[in-house]
Every structure is written in structure tokens, then in C-alpha cells.
Structure 1
Amino acid sequence: MKQALVGARIFTGDQFLDNRAVVIEGANIISLPENDNVVQSYPDAEIIELDGGIIAPGFIDLQVNGGGGAFFTNDTSVSALQSMLDGHRPTGTTSMLPTLISDTRTTHQAGVKAVADAVDARMQGILGIHIEGPFFDMDKRGAHNAKYIREIEDEDMQWLTAIEGFKIMVTLAPEHAASGQIKRLVDSGIFVAAGHTNAHYEDVMLAIDEGLSGFTHLFNAMRPQTGREPGVVGAALDSANTWCGIICDNHHVHPGSVRVAMNAKPLGKLYLVTDAMSTVGGEQKSFTIYGEEIFEKDGALVNAEGNLAGSAIGMIDAVRIAHQAIGISLSECLRMASLYPAQYMRLNQSLGRIDDNYRADLVHFTNDFNVTATWVAGDYKQH
């Protein structure tokens, strides 16, 4: 069955196209013909009329703690993963790395098994898993429970490096990794990112030499930059070949800091994440972590101590805020939400663009940033 999407402006990942259609066959994009040629060239296609707005590559969120009422660390099940996909899809997210926060090894292994089961069942949209903690610095743990924070043990290395079949990101504090541990993780195919870290600049640079490739929620829960000590932030901005996730929700990072990062990092190395919790796409505006209530306050999620505990936004909100409040061009915001995370995960031959033979993961949104429809591997859903 073919679908022909007409009536919207197309952002391909590189440029905007007018008066063109997107033709989908099965799970893939097969053509971007002129609107006037669609019916003649594809008489068997279902014509889907879109009333203006923009079609863009589906958003890819590499840090999603929960959604649709489910919080993954509390519910390490395939059904929770489906709830997260369902909760975030109306915000334009078509692929994600469900994220586990600091907890027991048993909980993390259960989460990995759930992802493996979802991938085996061909659950579209689950790219793999992001394990955020517990190998953190105690002073930079943020909302992560202190009782779980610990050093990397041999058993951790053994089970983490044995995971295969999907993408794995591990966020850790590099100053608490022994020499060679990061290299071993990277050599097994894991994407290692620095986060919740009080490392000095030199510590981070040594970790980059071992293969550390990313920074989790840039500026948050990491040693800041000063004139004499560049810290983790300085290392992130100074390293040309690393990627940085950033939360644009008007709470986690000041707009000026986002612009500084944009100017410092090479094009393509800064990408949007939500760090979203179960409230996104869910009915409840509070939930429990570690037996403690987390609640929404002024558009942010905080714990009883007032610490930020993830965000309450979806990806379309991050795109809107990055564009309207921070002043980044819309085309760059859309790349930050799709192409760049695809490139980081080495999935940019199939995701992150609208082009022939790419997977039909798409989002359609209005000029005022309301998502009206998404496609995941060609599956069409109105919102």
C-alpha cells in the first residue's frame, strides 16, 4: 500500500521543499515528486491531504525516562515501553532510547531484557537503551538516590559488554571509571557519555581518548567552566568530535548558555533531548521515584528538595523553545531533533532525513507547533 502526503512544506533534513509530496510504500519513503505529478505517477496511492504546516523527519529522543504514565525504572516491562512510545508520539517522537536512572543492577538488567524483548518483537521506535547511572559522582547526583551511587564493578563490566542487538548508551562520571574501563565499554559497541560528574578537564580528555563520545544534559549536573578550570562543560565545548545532548525546556539551561554551546560546538554535535518523565502524554502530573513524590511546578519537575528531576516536555516543545525562545533557526532545530541524534547513534543511513529509501518516520506539525500526524515505519496516526 502506498501513501502520498501532499499539501505541506517538506523539510528533508537538509532543506525545505515546496510543492512536493512524500510517497511512502510500506515502511520506506520511495519518492518526493512534484505535487502535480502524484496522482498520475502513483494512481494506486492513498492521497493524504495535509493542510499546510511542515513535514519533517520524525524526532529521535535519546533520553526518555518515561511517558504515557509509565516510568521505566519503576516498571521495566515491554508494556511500559509501549506506554512511553504512545505518550511521546503525539509530540513528534518516532524513535527513542528509553532511559534507566540509577538503581540496582537487577533493575537495570530487567530493563535491558525488556528492551531486548521489545526489539525481538519488532516494536518500532525502540532503538535500544540509555543507562544513566549509577556510576556517578555523589556531589553531582541531582535527583538520583544516593544509596545507588557506586563505582563500576567487574560484574557491571561483564554484563554491560555482553549486551548486543541494539543501541546502548551509558552515562557515567569519568573520574570514577578505572583506566581502561571506558575503552572496554566503547570497544563492545557502547556509546559512553559523561554526566553527573565533577571531573576536571584533564579527566574528561583522558576519557575522550578512551572513546567517550558524548555529554548527557549539557550544563546540568556537571562541573562548570571557569577561567582556570574548564571543567566538564569546558571539555564538552572544547572537544570537536563529541556530541552533547541539551534540554531546552526554559528551566534546565539558560537561553544564553544554549547559544554559547551552539557557537562553540561544530555544527551537528548538539542535539535536543527531553529527559522526560511519565507525565508527558500521561494524565497524572506527579509520580514517584525511589518512594519520593516528584511533581510538576511551573512547567518543571522537581523533588521535595527542589532539585530538577527531569522535564515535562515532549520533543515538539523542545523544537519550539529552541526556535522561539533561544533563536535557533527552525531548520537547525529540526536537525537537532532528528538528524544529529541519528548521526550520533550511527543510524543516519535510515533515519533523520526525508529521502528515497529512508524509513518513513515522519512528523507533521502546524506553523504554531501542534503535531497533527506521525508516521512510524510508514504507520500513519493522526493526533
Structure 2
Amino acid sequence: MTPTALIGGTLLLPDRCLEGHALVVSAGKITKVCANADLPAGVVQRDIAGLTVAPGFIDLQVNGGGGVLFNDDPSLEAIKAIGAAHRNFGTTSFLPTLISDTVEKIDLALIAAEQGLAENTPGLIGIHLEGPFLSPQRHGIHNPAHFQTPDAELLDRLKAPKGGSLMMTLAPEEVPAKLLRQLSSRGVKLAAGHTAATYAQTVDALKAGVTGFTHLFNAMPPMLSRAPGPVAAALESEAWCTLIADGHHVDDAMLRLAIRAKADGRMIFVTDAMSCAGTDATSFQFDGKTIRVRDGRCEDDAGTLAGSNLTMIDAVRRGVRELDLPLHIAVNMATFQPASFLGIEAERGSLKPGSRADLVFLNGALDLVAVVQDGNLEEL
């Protein structure tokens, strides 16, 4: 396959915007990033003047999209439909996410993810189980009837699938440190969320294998002067924190403060998208409840937030426009940081030789012009 060099555009690297350089793509991979003058002979040049190239977005929390909810249909067909819906908004890698449900649903979801990974389903990089080891005090839209106490039989099911990642959101105070270490040793990426943990309990969980926090601020105690709680532990630690930047889950001022406070930059945009994402739906069903979509906010009749209607391109735009982030930082939170959390940064999440050629192309207004997966430049 003849290499193709994309020239004339702006390349978004994790730490800067790069001008005057070409991105060379061949056989589905990025093979070179070089100054235009250093292009090797024989490459096909394609001018993308006026466009900005970024890695494809990576979403670690996708409950649904395109009218499909993973909890309703934990199957490979549902995974494919959800992935296709979010691909239209720049997401080229994702974790289908199962909100707390029955053990039978968990089994089906894990099997579907394993099947999808074996078949190289486009965009699928594993699965996220949000629950069932959560705090009844901080259940949010989750049904506490589905919460479980960790036992040997259930724990035996929980291991990273072949060729992919298993992310698990849990309340650390509900899981003994021994079991946290056991899950972590199996390759499970542990994130604290839907938790009532104290600061001390959270710090202990970080020592036991928790390396992330799910939708920071939401479904956890607020940070107070004499009760810093999990938020303070998250911000001062080296763990990654996911944020839902839809303007509804967390006030933008708090997001700006948190991002500035996290000196290591380990902040991640997630959508927490429900089935309505990518559709014009004004309501949908979840666990026997009617969830209404009003002005981008998903909530039940009691006003409890139920996931979001957010897409990753909108999260990146809001990062720039509402959170005052440079474009490369906002994109970094949707690409390199989630890849780093999962440990797949060598192959996804940045424009560097050896990485998959999953790319998004933006114009000056941050409109999504094209999405390329596996180096298929015919889509550009």
C-alpha cells in the first residue's frame, strides 16, 4: 500500500499544535510525522489545508447511543450499533458501559464484549461495568436492588477480556482492599465512583489498586474543609479522573478549578451517553423509569440525572469554549489521557508513529469534517 502524506493541516499532539508538518499513513497506521521538506520519496500527498487533525476520540463511558441502550440489549449487535452512532461524533474507540444490573446481564455483557473483540469490532476496546459494588447512599440513577456484595463466584467473572480492557467503577468502601488488589492484579482498571468513601478510605483504595475516578464530583460527597472526601484524594493523587462536561452534571466553574488543580493533567472527558445520544429522542426508558431529555439534560421524574445526551465532539467544544482550554488540551482529554488510563497509549490516542490511524478532522469552527478509522482515508 502506497503511503499517503496529509499535508497543509494542523496536527494536534498531546502537548501542542504542530504546523508545517505532514502525517504519513500506511496500512492503517501512522508511520511518520515529519516536516514537509523531509517527506520520503514516493508518498502520495494529500492537501488538507484549513483542517486540524486529531486522534480519534476515546470514550470510556458509553451507556448507549443511536436509540440503543446497552442495559436493554447487552449483545454484540447493540455494541456495534452504539459504536456506529458515536463514530459520527468522532469517537473511534469506546467502552460499552453496563449500568448496575443483574448478574445475568453482567454475564451477557462480558460475553458480548469478548465476542466483539475476537471479531475486531470497529472501535471496541473492552467493556466498562459501572457497578454492582456501589454505595446505596450515592446510587444516583442506579437501582440499589442490583447492588452486590463481592463474592468469590462473581469475582471469578471479572477479568480483562482477551485483547481488551475491563474498567470497573466501584465504591471502594464496599470492597475490601484484598479484593481490590485481586481485581487489579487481573488487569481490571478500577475507578472509584458512586461512593460515600471518606478521604482516608479513598487514599487506602488508591494504595490497593484504584487508579481512576468515575465522573468526578457526581455521586460522591462534596469536598469540605474538614471532610475532603474522595474529590480531594482524586485531585492530589496520580489517578485519572473522568468528567462529564455537559454543563449539567458539574458547574463549569468547578470543572475549570479541578482541571487546574490536577497538576499531572490526568483528566478525561467521558460522555456517559444514553440511548438518546445521536437522536432526536425526547424520552426513553431505563430500568422501568421514563427518562426525559430536556435542553440536553436527561432526568427522571424526580429530577435525578440519568446519564447524558453528550457526544465527544461536544465535550471537546465545551472544553474550549466554556472551560477555557487550549484545543490541544481539550483533545488530549478525549484521546491521550483515556488511552493512558487503559494502558493502550502506544497504539491509540496520539499522532505518533506506530499508532492506529484513527483520526478526526476539524475546521476552524470546530465542526467535525471527517472521521477516519483504521487509516481508511476514503472517508476523508
TM-score (norm 1): 0.94
1:31-180 → structure 2 map (5 Å cutoff): 31-35=32-36, 41-43=41-43, 45=44, 47-161=45-159, 163-180=161-178
1:357 to partner: Cα distance: 1.8
Out of 271, 275, 279, the position equivalent to 1:274 is 271
Match of 1:313 in 2: 310
1:150 to partner: Cα distance: 2.8
* Secondary structure at 1:248 match in 2: coil
Out of 282, 290, 296, the position equivalent to 1:299 is 296
What amino acid is the match of 1:9? T
Match of 1:195 in 2: 193
Whole-Å separation in 1 of the counterparts to 2:104 and 2:263: 39
Match of 1:17 in 2: 18
* Secondary structure at 1:308 match in 2: coil
Is 1:347 paired with 2:348? no
Whole-Å separation in 2 of the counterparts to 1:321 and 1:267: 21
Change (3 A) 1:327 1:162: closer
Asked if 2 retains the 8 angstrom alpha-carbon contact of 1:28 and 1:359, the reply is yes
Asked if 2 retains the 8 angstrom alpha-carbon contact of 1:13 and 1:57, the reply is no
1:164 to partner: Cα distance: 4.2
What amino acid is the match of 2:131? G
What amino acid is the match of 2:291? I
Indicate the larger mover: 281-290 or 332-341: 281-290
* Secondary structure at 2:84 match in 1: helix
Out of 253, 256, 259, the position equivalent to 1:256 is 253
Asked if 1 retains the 8 angstrom alpha-carbon contact of 2:64 and 2:277, the reply is yes
Structure 1 spans left out of the alignment, 5+ residues: none
Whole-Å separation in 2 of the counterparts to 1:238 and 1:13: 22
What amino acid is the match of 2:327? L
* Secondary structure at 1:193 match in 2: strand
Asked if 2 retains the 8 angstrom alpha-carbon contact of 1:86 and 1:281, the reply is no
Asked if 1 retains the 8 angstrom alpha-carbon contact of 2:100 and 2:132, the reply is yes
Change (3 A) 1:48 1:71: farther
1:165 to partner: Cα distance: 3.6
Is 1:286 paired with 2:283? yes
* Secondary structure at 2:96 match in 1: strand
Whole-Å separation in 2 of the counterparts to 1:265 and 1:13: 16
Change (3 A) 1:160 1:286: same
Whole-Å separation in 2 of the counterparts to 1:377 and 1:223: 41
Match of 1:208 in 2: 206
* Secondary structure at 2:88 match in 1: helix
Indicate the larger mover: 98-107 or 265-274: 265-274
* Secondary structure at 1:309 match in 2: coil
What amino acid is the match of 1:268? G
Indicate the larger mover: 255-264 or 336-345: 255-264
1:381 to partner: Cα distance: 6.3
Sequence identity, in percent?
Answer: 38
Change (3 A) 1:382 1:294: farther
Is 1:357 paired with 2:354? yes
What amino acid is the match of 2:5? A
* Secondary structure at 1:356 match in 2: coil
Change (3 A) 1:37 1:184: closer
What amino acid is the match of 2:331? L
Match of 2:183 in 1: 185
Partner deviation per Cα, 1:54-82 (whole Å, 9 max, x = no partner):
10111111111111221111111111111
Match of 1:247 in 2: 244
Asked if 2 retains the 8 angstrom alpha-carbon contact of 1:68 and 1:84, the reply is yes
What amino acid is the match of 2:254? S
Indicate the larger mover: 127-136 or 368-377: 368-377
Asked if 2 retains the 8 angstrom alpha-carbon contact of 1:365 and 1:373, the reply is yes
Change (3 A) 1:360 1:298: same
Asked if 1 retains the 8 angstrom alpha-carbon contact of 2:160 and 2:188, the reply is no
Asked if 1 retains the 8 angstrom alpha-carbon contact of 2:129 and 2:169, the reply is yes
1:50 to partner: Cα distance: 2.9
Structure 2 spans left out of the alignment, 5+ residues: none
1:152 to partner: Cα distance: 1.7
Asked if 2 retains the 8 angstrom alpha-carbon contact of 1:69 and 1:283, the reply is no
Whole-Å separation in 2 of the counterparts to 1:90 and 1:381: 15
The CA RMSD over aligned residues, in Å, is: 1.8
TM-score (norm 2): 0.95
1:133 to partner: Cα distance: 0.8
What amino acid is the match of 1:182? L
